[in-house]
Structure 1
Amino acid sequence: MSIPNDLTALALPTGSRLVADETESRLSLDLDGEPLIRLHLASEPELLVQLEQGFDHPDGDALHTACYWLFARDPACQRLTWQLDEVPVDALRNGLLVATGTSGQYRCERTLFWQLPQPWLGQSLASSYPQQMVISSGKRHPLRPVKPRGEVYRRFDARLGAWISLRTLDIDHDLERFNRWQNSARVASFWQEEGSLEQHREYLDKLEADPHTLTLIGCFDDQPFAYFEAYWAKEDRIAPFYEAHDYDRGIHMLVGEEHHRGPHKVASWLSALVHYLLLDDPRTQRVVAEPRADNGKMIGYMQGQGFYCEKEFDFPHKRAALMVLGRERFFERCELA
């Protein structure tokens, strides 16, 4: 049984620590030093998981955590088959497990697992927000929820061995950092937003007051490295250039810290950013972006994460590539670990 990620411990967003003792046929998981679950493993050819005696009445959290470990240590694993003596009512209800045609057997599908919002998602105001259509600036769109504050997403990237998290931008706290990033020659060549602290405060104040845009800071191990803008496409300048759906989200991306550049880092933060937006509101079926058409490096990175270029088009200020990633495609090829 191939195990690409040679894990012995895995941190959880709750602050707990998961430690494993694993062989080809057995897995023992301890949570914060206490036994959580003991499993027998068999490949035939897909992974079959059975509970050891004494751990045959697991709660939902134990099942979820075990699935997380098994998917994290093998990003190529697409499903787990659980052999259970009791019907896992809660796990069936929330989609963690799906019944099979075999008595006592249940599947956990990677494509379903990563759509479960907890524990990765912080407070979400969008997911349960009712729909009411409104018109603003001549555009008809759903009324948007109040924007969140603070940390909105956190996940330990097993391949990097680092936390990837997203928090909302705090203008007073982040202004100097944002100003430094925007005034670097590399960033300015694509964003064209060089300016003073006062100009950048005005820029961020405008976005703060805009209900269709959420400003985010990306962090590795809680150290800020990037700035993102997540917007509702229906109300954005991109809407006239494609058939925008009511809950499409768009992204603008800026990596400010040089030591966090590179394809392995992009794979981590771009998948996390898309993951957050798809979890934030399950009605979101597509994430779009419009990088400059001549930004071949970023377009290549995005294609590596499942985006495709639908077309090129002309904004007043740039020739852009319309990059699109659908919900189904993201979760079907989901390589989160």
Structure 2
Amino acid sequence: MGRSIYKLSKIRQEAEELNFTILINNCCREFNNNTYYSGIPKYDKVLSEYFGKTGHDLHLKLDFLSETTEVYVPLRYVSESKRHLYHFPVVARNLETEELKEIDIDRFLELVVSHARFEYPNASVDSIKDRLHNSIDNIEAYLKHFQETKKEVNKAEMSFIESEQLLAVGHSTHPLTKGRSGFSNEDLINYSPETEGRFQLHYFLIHHNHVTEESVEEKLFSEILKDELRKYAIEDESVIQLLKENPQWKVVPVHPWEANFLLVQPDVKEMQSNKLLYDLGAWGALYTPTSSVRTVYNEESDWMFKFSLHVKITSAERVNYLHELYRGYDFSRLLKTPWGENLKNEYPDITIISDPGFISVSYKGKVIDGFNTSIRYNPFKGRNADKNIAVLASICQDEILGEPARIVNIIEEAAKRKSLPVQETAIAWFQKYIALILPATINLFNKHGVACELHQQNVLVEFDEALFPSRIYFRDNQGFLFRKSKEEELISIVPDLAKHSKAFIPDDRLFSLLSHYFIISNITSLINVFGCNGLTTENQLIDIVYTEINKAKDTSGFVDYVLNNRYWKVKGNLLTALTNIDGGAAPSSVVQVDYPNILHNHFLSKQLIFPAGKETIYSRYFPKADVTISIRPMDLDRDLEMLHEWFHRDHAKKIWKMDWPIRELEVYYRTMIAGNVLCSYIGEANGEPTCNFEVYWTTRDQVGDYYDVLPTDYGTHQFIAPTDPKKKFVSPFTQCMVDYVFAQPEVGKMVGEGAVNSLASMMNKTHVGFKIEKVIEMPHKKANLNFCYREWYWAKFPQNKNIVISPIPKETSENLI
């Protein structure tokens, strides 16, 4: 595959833009100060001139009120998952001076911190700025390395270790994605997966009373390592002599960087001086890091080693805690039982890469966590090292250094091999992945009581000859947790299970964890990469996932939670970093934010929220009133001034409270048009515009906060402009609005929340079948929350049951009251 050679300045620019993109997307996930902005404004001269020059007509708009600033980012791709793609540069406008200028990532970060302090007063730019630049510098270094070594970072076929080491970004939802605070420039080269660092493991000999270890193997790993070390150091008399003199002592491996860190720690120095610990140095075969940096691999070794590393990788020092080591060991013990054999038989296309043992060191009753090491089976040894295996993060990697995204290369090549169109191949590939991973994950939780942290870096995909998924690997079972409700059952299999691992977690908390790691980080990320590369639409894949989850047999409540909850919880990586929380040391302190349930897009009515065109979509003739009512989508170029005049009429001011300056009203509609919550329509009576109504998707609207909203609920606002009773045609207009909404199959019930002081509005709603549910106190009004079902409407107007939505008016009989 050929590619262009980038200039160094362009590589720096790409590194900055990759990290800037993640930072902006974190804001979209974690704050509510952003909307989309469509088109070039008529009444905003500053924006009009600038957008006219850039040629971009869709932007992300972020409001930073504490700084009297608004920011505009040109959108290249809008994602349902909020992982958007952008054009650069980013511009900010000072709302007091109207000055518009380009801003860099530092200024954007300052605005973000100022905004975050509204809710998180301890948010600080000091806790993140240097690490953010460290991440950018590291991305730049890795991109240069890829280019200098002529690496094809997104090729379709890779070995296990290639896919682990060719991740230019890696963690696509963390603002410090390639932060490696603690590594020097030399360390970065020597120990990074991206630079293919290769190094020997560092060994210590430690008094056995200070070592805790467990293993499901016949021999303890300290003994296995001791046997290997005897071979490595056969010509080093001092090492061999120490092993002979201390036969019960334990050989403990550590990462070479961590060895240097440990040797200057007071407890380790004291152990050395008390002759309880000997530094044996580096020996043996060369290992290379996987994508986690601290887990290392050798293609001829039976084991991988997951070391502690006191380096801040993204936002936390990557230290193994003792209870996490026990979790991996506990799960390996389960796998050694008939329970584990049953798993293998039940899920033949799933391989769990287990961690059969660990080593830990303590001194004076305190764990020295730098020694904590988990040992993992290596299924990619020998001939298996060359298998076409991909960590999911690699499959989800965007275009890099001018190369297409890896998923594009995979799907296009798969389409050739199967002689199928690309889009058909993309959908079939995704369906195969879902068929492999989704039932297994849900059943593991429902039937077996295991919740797996299956984020992008914990899932590996093996490909068949056609480049379709054929096997899924789950790894990092230190993060596998057990349902509290299954405790008695699982302890009957392994009596002291989770005694030290704190692994039994209440079911409802696991719902949140599993949806975050599996649905959001895993499946949604894959949906996003298919969509943003034009292989298919995100909503097509969302429909597939919804359908498959809906089929799942589940008694745990997880499927119900995933399908029906309005929001899931997701880690607020930006807020966690800004507040300087170490997610490894204090996982319960990590900031959690609401994430709109993406599966509810299955019920999004494109016709209601994104009607095509600007012409009439529904007309109906009412003979008794001798009026033809027509409905069309609002046309901003045609209707803005008219709506501005309507909302300044006295009767509109009291209820609608939209008597804003026309520039402000234009912003309202431009953000509405670009979003997926609301659509505005114009109603005409005999060709004369006299009505405005809005249809909104209630689950994404503020009203959804006030009752148990369903994704099939749709609300309306209605405004009749004339005050002359002869021109109002209230009932015909309302019937047409309700006809149109209920004609859409996605709609379950209609919702309204008219102000309690708008008696005429509520009477009109009651006239067509709406019923008041309760009074709600919203920030801007006290309102009558009211509902209507089709049956209630048709009971009032039976003749409307068979209405056909057509732009051509039909004569109908009716009973107008």
Q: TM class by shorter-chain length?
A: 0.5 to 0.7
**What are the Cα deviations for residues 92-116 of structure 1, in whole angstroms up to 9, with x where unaligned?**
xxxxxxxxxxxxxxxxxxxxxxxxx
Matched, 1:250 2:715: yes
SS at match of 1:180: helix
**Alpha-carbon distance, 1:131 to partner:** 6.7
Q: In 1, Cα distance between the equivalents of 2:726 and 2:711?
A: 33
The structure 1 residue matched to 2:662, chosen from 197, 205, 216, is 197
Paired AA for residue 316 in structure 1: P
**What are the Cα deviations for residues 173-196 of structure 1, in whole angstroms up to 9, with x where unaligned?**
001100001111210111111122
Q: Which residue of structure 2 aligns with residue 233 of structure 1?
A: 698
Gaps of 5+ in 2: 1-539, 547-562, 568-593, 801-812
**What are the Cα deviations for residues 310-333 of structure 1, in whole angstroms up to 9, with x where unaligned?**
100110111010111111221233
SS at match of 2:754: coil
Q: In 2, Cα distance between the equivalents of 1:130 and 1:285?
A: 23
The structure 2 residue matched to 1:310, chosen from 773, 779, 785, is 773
Identical counterparts, % of pairs: 21
Q: In 2, Cα distance between the equivalents of 1:292 and 1:161?
A: 31
Residues 255 and 261 in structure 1, CA contact (< 8 A), matched pair in contact too: no
SS at match of 1:328: helix
Residues 147 and 211 in structure 1, CA contact (< 8 A), matched pair in contact too: no
Q: In 2, Cα distance between the equivalents of 1:239 and 1:163?
A: 34
**What are the Cα deviations for residues 216-238 of structure 1, in whole angstroms up to 9, with x where unaligned?**
00111111001111011111111
Please show how residues 216-227 of structure 1 align to structure 2 within 5 Å. 216-227=681-692
Q: Which residue of structure 2 aligns with residue 322 of structure 1?
A: 785
Paired AA for residue 329 in structure 1: W
Paired AA for residue 305 in structure 1: V
Q: Which residue of structure 1 aligns with residue 640 of structure 2?
A: 175
SS at match of 1:218: strand
Q: In 2, Cα distance between the equivalents of 1:130 and 1:238?
A: 28
**Alpha-carbon distance, 1:260 to partner:** 5.4
Please show how residues 66-145 of structure 1 align to structure 2 within 5 Å. 132=543, 138-140=595-597, 141-143=600-602, 144=604, 145=606
Q: In 2, Cα distance between the equivalents of 1:155 and 1:130?
A: 37
Q: Which residue of structure 2 aligns with residue 65 of structure 1?
A: none
Matched, 1:273 2:737: yes
Gaps of 5+ in 1: 1-128
Residues 293 and 321 in structure 1, CA contact (< 8 A), matched pair in contact too: yes
SS at match of 2:755: coil
Q: In 1, Cα distance between the equivalents of 2:694 and 2:765?
A: 16
Q: Which residue of structure 1 aligns with residue 458 of structure 2?
A: none
Paired AA for residue 328 in structure 1: E
Paired AA for residue 745 in structure 2: P
Residues 228 and 252 in structure 1, CA contact (< 8 A), matched pair in contact too: yes
Paired AA for residue 772 in structure 2: C
Paired AA for residue 696 in structure 2: Y
What is the TM-score when the length of structure 1 is the normalising length? 0.57
**Alpha-carbon distance, 1:286 to partner:** 0.8
Paired AA for residue 230 in structure 1: V
Q: In 1, Cα distance between the equivalents of 2:794 and 2:697?
A: 21
Residues 217 and 227 in structure 1, CA contact (< 8 A), matched pair in contact too: yes
Paired AA for residue 681 in structure 2: L
Residues 225 and 260 in structure 1, CA contact (< 8 A), matched pair in contact too: no
Q: In 1, Cα distance between the equivalents of 2:658 and 2:699?
A: 24
Q: Which residue of structure 1 aligns with residue 796 of structure 2?
A: 333
Residues 611 and 633 in structure 2, CA contact (< 8 A), matched pair in contact too: no
Paired AA for residue 217 in structure 1: I
Q: In 2, Cα distance between the equivalents of 1:315 and 1:333?
A: 30
SS at match of 1:314: strand
Q: In 2, Cα distance between the equivalents of 1:315 and 1:225?
A: 28
- Are the structure 2 counterparts of residues 130 and 303 from structure 1 closer, same or farther at C-alpha, using a change threshold of 3 Å? farther
**Alpha-carbon distance, 1:155 to partner:** 0.9
**Alpha-carbon distance, 1:147 to partner:** 3.3
**Alpha-carbon distance, 1:245 to partner:** 1.8
Aligned residues: 208
**What are the Cα deviations for residues 233-278 of structure 1, in whole angstroms up to 9, with x where unaligned?**
111111121222222110011111223578x821111111011001
SS at match of 1:290: strand
Q: Which residue of structure 2 aligns with residue 163 of structure 1?
A: 628
Paired AA for residue 210 in structure 1: G
SS at match of 1:320: strand
CA RMSD of aligned residues (A): 2.5
Structure with bigger strand share is 1
Residues 720 and 730 in structure 2, CA contact (< 8 A), matched pair in contact too: no
- Segments of 4+ moved more than 6 angstroms: 134-137
- Are the structure 2 counterparts of residues 130 and 184 from structure 1 closer, same or farther at C-alpha, using a change threshold of 3 Å? farther
Q: In 2, Cα distance between the equivalents of 1:260 and 1:157?
A: 16
Q: In 2, Cα distance between the equivalents of 1:147 and 1:265?
A: 24
Paired AA for residue 250 in structure 1: G
SS at match of 1:291: strand
Paired AA for residue 258 in structure 1: T
Q: Which residue of structure 2 aligns with residue 282 of structure 1?
A: 745
What is the TM-score when the length of structure 2 is the normalising length? 0.24
Q: Which residue of structure 1 aligns with residue 613 of structure 2?
A: 149
Q: In 2, Cα distance between the equivalents of 1:170 and 1:285?
A: 28
- Are the structure 2 counterparts of residues 290 and 261 from structure 1 closer, same or farther at C-alpha, using a change threshold of 3 Å? farther
- Are the structure 2 counterparts of residues 219 and 130 from structure 1 closer, same or farther at C-alpha, using a change threshold of 3 Å? farther
SS at match of 2:724: helix
Q: In 2, Cα distance between the equivalents of 1:130 and 1:258?
A: 48
Higher relative contact order (CA 8 A, sep 6+): 1
Q: In 2, Cα distance between the equivalents of 1:195 and 1:226?
A: 19
Q: In 2, Cα distance between the equivalents of 1:138 and 1:324?
A: 26
**What are the Cα deviations for residues 140-162 of structure 1, in whole angstroms up to 9, with x where unaligned?**
22253343322221111122111
- Are the structure 2 counterparts of residues 205 and 167 from structure 1 closer, same or farther at C-alpha, using a change threshold of 3 Å? same
Q: In 2, Cα distance between the equivalents of 1:175 and 1:256?
A: 14
Paired AA for residue 138 in structure 1: Y
Q: In 2, Cα distance between the equivalents of 1:142 and 1:311?
A: 27
Q: In 2, Cα distance between the equivalents of 1:236 and 1:195?
A: 21
Residues 182 and 193 in structure 1, CA contact (< 8 A), matched pair in contact too: yes
Q: In 2, Cα distance between the equivalents of 1:328 and 1:130?
A: 33
Q: In 2, Cα distance between the equivalents of 1:207 and 1:170?
A: 12
- Are the structure 2 counterparts of residues 154 and 324 from structure 1 closer, same or farther at C-alpha, using a change threshold of 3 Å? same
**Alpha-carbon distance, 1:291 to partner:** 0.5
Greater alpha carbon shift after TM alignment, 135-144 vs 325-334:
135-144
Q: Which residue of structure 2 aligns with residue 92 of structure 1?
A: none
- Are the structure 2 counterparts of residues 177 and 240 from structure 1 closer, same or farther at C-alpha, using a change threshold of 3 Å? same
